[in-house]
Amino acid sequence: MFHQVRKIIGPQLVLALTGSLLTCHVDAATASRPGGSGMTWMRTADTLYNGELVIYDQLGVDSYVILNSNLNDFDTFNSLGVNYGLFDPLELGIQTTYMTNDQHNTAGIRSYKGIIKLRLLGDKDKDGYAVTVSSYKTASPTDVANKIGSGSTEDGTEINASYYGEDVNVHLTFGAATADSKYYSPDVVYYSVEKQYANLGVEFKVSDRFIFGIETIQEKSENVEFDKNQIFAFSLQYKANKHWDFDFGASFGVPEDRSEPAKSFYVGFNYRLDERRAPAARRSSPIETRVTEKVTSIPVPESQPEAKPTFTKQPKAEATVKPAPKKSRASHKFKVTIKNATGSSATGERVANFLREKGYAVASIQSVARRNKTEIRYLNKNSQQALQLAIKLPGNQDLRKMSSLDKGIDFEIVIGSDMVQSIR
């Protein structure tokens, strides 16, 4: 989220979470920061996996309206932070923000934030949805005399819920807090205000590398000096590779009031040190468990080979039996569609060649949004054949029963990044 939300302080009662989430298993990239409360990116409910580390930085400008004048006041800010995934549903983070004020020509460290975020329900990659609770606390904020902060300790708590679709992600946040606000009366004054807020954000996958986001932020307070009631925000993310992505964004207050930023603009980046989910953290589905049991239940023979026989007479040579002519391979019994979610066309071709060698007909290879886990989708009538296909494919795959597939297609295989290492 943007700068005005970064100034939230004081834990309050979190508003009740309403609505319901779709639970179909789909996956799409997300332009949102996977951090916790107190971030300037769009709020999301995804958390970092166990051992995953994200380093991020954001540089931006806030423009304020000065009452009864034609002048604007500008704050520039730079937020630097580190977030770490722990136990795979917990995320911890540290953030610091450096600010400068144009009107008073002052600068300094605005705050240090400690962030904690706990996933309560769902999993982005397995379930297509997630619900988290997150909070943050600041220490040693700048004194009000420096004109970049009120000197009050900042705290905040909120509930986040997200739905992750193939091409669209939806994020919903409810929270209530005490905010450190800026006001002109007529000079700049900082004060604390209790407020409640609700955020609704939607992200659209434009291509494999670009994601566009739009968000509306509704705020409410009993303090008459806090007169901003709605904010609209826009963002664009460019994913350079699996480790780097860059964000560009802007927000606009409606109306442009004197207590909160009238406009905000920013540019930022995220660097992921490790995107892999720890194998122990992944939960196996019942049908996948049956596949594992089928593989490991093959008995090992315990009998020893008999001693080599000896002969007193040379045995008669047996008549040479001509081998039966090889039967030509019949037409393929099963037809497969491959959806390549690895970003590597070479991996998709290797999987297609592997399936052809095993007797499957490959109807097509399509590129889709990237994902980590490989999945085999099948119709109910092909349940046993889906198990056999899972055994033949290298690695471990999730199996998902579908109500329908494309006409003439028996199996749909979505290959994730785990397949890159499994098949060479």
Give the global pTM: 0.60
State the CATH number of the domain containing residue 378: 3.30.70.2390
Same domain, 222 and 103: yes
| Side-chain-facing half-sphere of 341: CA atoms under 13 Å | 25
316 in a structural domain: no
Strand pairing category for 210-221 and 361-367: unpaired
Same domain, 369 and 227: no
Same domain, 351 and 214: no
How many angstroms separate the CA atoms of 27 and 373, rounded? 10
pLDDT in tens, 167-201: 899 999 999 887 777 777 777 777 778 888 899 99
341 in a structural domain: yes
Place of tokens 């700049």: 188
Same domain, 268 and 357: no
State the CATH number of the domain containing residue 263: 2.40.160.40
Given this model, what pLDDT does residue 283 score? Answer: 41
Same domain, 264 and 340: no
Same domain, 112 and 257: yes
Indicate if the pLDDT at residue 114 is higher than 70. yes
Q: Please give the full DSSP string across 241-297, using - where no structure is assigned.
A: SSSEEEEEEEEEESS--SSS-SEEEEEEEEEES--PPPGGGPPPPHHHHHHHHHHHT
Beta strand extents in 261-410 (DSSP E only): 263-272, 335-340, 361-367, 375-378, 398-401
295 in a structural domain: no
Q: State which of 279, 312, 339 marks the end of a domain.
A: 279
Indicate if the pLDDT at residue 285 is higher than 80. no
> What's the total number of domains in the chain?
2
Is residue 347 left, alpha or beta, with left meaning phi > 0 and alpha meaning psi from -120 to 50? alpha
298 in a structural domain: no
321 in a structural domain: no
Same domain, 267 and 335: no
In degrees, rounded to 5, the angle at the alpha carbon of residue 348 between the alpha carbons of residues 346 and 349 is 65
Same domain, 269 and 340: no
For the CA atoms of 256, 259, 265, 266, the dihedral, rounded to the nearest 10 degrees, stands at: -160
Structure tokens at 315: 């045995």
301 in a structural domain: no
Ranked by mean pLDDT, the top range of 234-238, 280-284, 392-396 is 234-238
Structure tokens at 271: 């660097």
How many angstroms separate the CA atoms of 308 and 418, rounded? 47
Q: How many residues belong to the chain?
A: 424
Q: How confident is the model at residue 412 (pLDDT cuts 50, 70, 90)?
A: very high
Q: Calculate mean pLDDT across residues 213-222.
A: 90
Given this model, what pLDDT does residue 312 score? Answer: 55
315 in a structural domain: no
The partner residues of 245 in beta bridges, in order of sequence, read 239, 270
Supply the range of the domain harboring residue 68: 3-15+23-279
324 in a structural domain: no
Ranked by mean pLDDT, the top range of 30-44, 144-158, 329-343, 361-375 is 361-375
Given this model, what pLDDT does residue 210 score? Answer: 93
Q: State which of 261, 279, 297 marks the end of a domain.
A: 279
Q: Calculate mean pLDDT across residues 106-128.
A: 89
Structure tokens at 179: 């905010």
